Structure 1
C-alpha cells in the first residue's frame, strides 16, 4: 500500500478509521480536508480528541490544503487524508503524486444511484467523477485495510 492515503468517508473519524486504518497501519499523521470542519474549532477538537496520543492532526479548508500542500514529498510513514466527498477529492487533485492510495470507505449519498458495496452509495455524478479519476489511478472501495477491496481501475498501463 502507498504511504499517502486519501480516504473519502462522510463520517471522517470513527471506529473503522481509528482501529482499521490509524491503529492497524500505525498512522501518526492525520489530516481532515473539509471546509465545514476547518471553520468549526469545536468539531475539529472533538475529532482530534479521538486520536491516539502522539498523533499529528491538522484540519484544512480545501483551498488551504491546495495552497499549502502541507506534506507529501518523500513520505516514509503513512499519512491519512480524510475527505467528506468525492467533490472535495477532485478539488485537491493538484496535490496528487505517484505515492498515493485512494480509498472510498463510506459515502451514503441520498440519491444512491450506484451501489458499490454495503457502505458506498454514490450519485451517478460522483460515480462519473471517479471514472475520470480512475483513468490515472486505481481506487479501492473498502472499510478497513484487511478487507478485500472492490477495485475501480480504468487507466491504461504502460
Structure 2
C-alpha cells in the first residue's frame, strides 16, 4: 500500500458498514491471487460470492506487526468512544497525535478503518464489530516445519 491510495468511495463505505465481521487470514500471494481469480470468474458467470470482507497477510509476521495490542486497543476505543477526530482519538488512547495519525492512516490504506470528513476533522470509523482471525497451520510444499520433539524437518 502507498500513501497515494485513493479513499474509499461512499458506496464502498456503505457496503463495509453492512458487514459486521472482517476475516483476517495469512495466505501466500499465489493463494490470494487464486482466491480473487476464482471469485471474479464466479461473478462473470453470474454466480454470487457470499464471502465476508477479508484482509489477507502474506506472513504471520506481517499480521502480528499490523494487528498489535495497541492497534486492537485503538479499534476498541474508536468503537466505544466514537471520537470526532484524530486528535480526540489520540486523547482517548493517551498517545501522541502524530503516532496515532500515522497508525490510523496505515490502517485506512489497508481498508480496516476509514475516515469520514467532518469540516476540518477526519473522524476514524471502525466499520466492523468482530475480527475473525483464521490461521492455517498446514505446511505448504517446501515449507520448513519445526516440531518440539523431533527438531527440524522439511515438509
Going by fraction, where is strand more abundant, 1 or 2? 1
TM-score bracket, normalised by the shorter chain, equals under 0.3
TM-score, normalisation: structure 1: 0.26
Going by fraction, where is helix more abundant, 1 or 2? 2
TM-score, normalisation: structure 2: 0.27
